[in-house]
Structure 1
């Protein structure tokens, strides 16, 4: 089964096959863990250097002839090129390819240092090895076929409404300010929904966007951070990739997010009233500094910087409006 890192590598390679000029100088063939993808990448870079005008089917055919490798014929490469992601998604895949390469180098360095008894400091290579192993386990998160059967909660449940809210925000990220003004991320109760909502809202706040790979990656990292802080995030039967794919396919319109957010806010107010708590006009929700959602960059080191002129979704004060 493909993994998170091999799927990111496949998408990056597909983009390069479609537009070889997008090959990033910082990435070498050795940075790609999948041997077949690495071989194709090197050949495409060589061909583009030798024949800059070689594009499309001519490029994939020339690459296949030079490779002469089983399973990497011109038809397979052409299907890959046809499946190329949008150019705007490329930074996500470049970042993950480089992350994976860095962690493999760190693991090799740590193993070499541990095998050598010459060093005086044994703790550093041991910590490096532990860090590299943990990171590699995240990169090796299974990426199942998106035909995996959907495991959706009942629509009328709290989780069902939260999933619908995230699906609506994924479809209309420009509504981030409005939705966060009604339901801030810390009010979302389901762990995966909260991470996904935070990630999409943080990006949408600045007019940016996320991809399915990015969301699955951030959910995996958030889960490890939560465990490291002593929390116990739930174990889901449905794989994270299938969860994100299911939300991406959920039917929504421009009113879905607003209506769902208002419903969730009304639920929270009812709970507060039932508990005898005073509910201010603008519902305040504080975030503990130890929370994994206190700083979006703690979840995603490649997340866009927080807005400077107005507060982002993770540091909200009071209820704010926004543009749809």
Structure 2
């Protein structure tokens, strides 16, 4: 009897070991499937596999952590899809920080955080463009505003995260188009009014044309007579006479009709008729010679004349010609 009891005890132990081995095999397969579903991003299916694995081993820490981690990931994705990035970031961070879980889930949570950061940067850029378009609209620059707004059609703003911004863009586009149409209508009306005013102005100008032409002809006649009077030679006053440079190398003779100068011991000299004498002031005159050349002379003193060649002193004809030593004589 005792021998039979021992056999029974051994048989029961064998059954227990076999049952445990079978349960472990099922657990491992369920956990393996759950991990595989994570890699495929089938997080709900992964959660179900982990829950079934936990049913066979209710105190298993690994399955418990993976279930929590998968649920947090599902929550983060749901919040991401709804455009609630603040909540999605919190959930994704919890997935990353949960120890003993799936590294793959942690990496995918990190990737999700990166996607949100990229979309946030784009939203900042889009918002800046929207504000620029709005500013052009407020300044009446409708074409430029519309150009910027139309560029948004080339961007993907379908994510709910851009929901409020897309509403503002659509509203602004409508406002710009309406304002642009009104501005074009006003511009056309203004153009018509200006064309009418222009025609009336041209008619008035035509009526006054002959009168203005006659006045212009009279003015030109008066100006011509004045020019003739001004062109007539004038008296050169105290500037007339013989002049000698301070270094005694050049002498000149100035009269109301001609201006002659020559350089000492040289063939350099000239004599030209004066065709116009213009008195700039009581001490300054401008001479126009028959060659067309104009020169200015300043009577610094009754005996000192300032010309383009420098200062000259008044002298007698004999003193002026003395520098030539009989080789030349001023007229």
TM-score interval for Structure 1 and Structure 2 normalised by the shorter chain: under 0.3
TM-score by length of structure 2 reads: 0.20
Give the number of the structure whose residues are more often helix, by fraction.
Answer: 2
| Structure index of larger Rg | 2
Higher strand share: 2
- Relative contact order (alpha carbons < 8 A, sep ≥ 6): 1 or 2 greater? 1
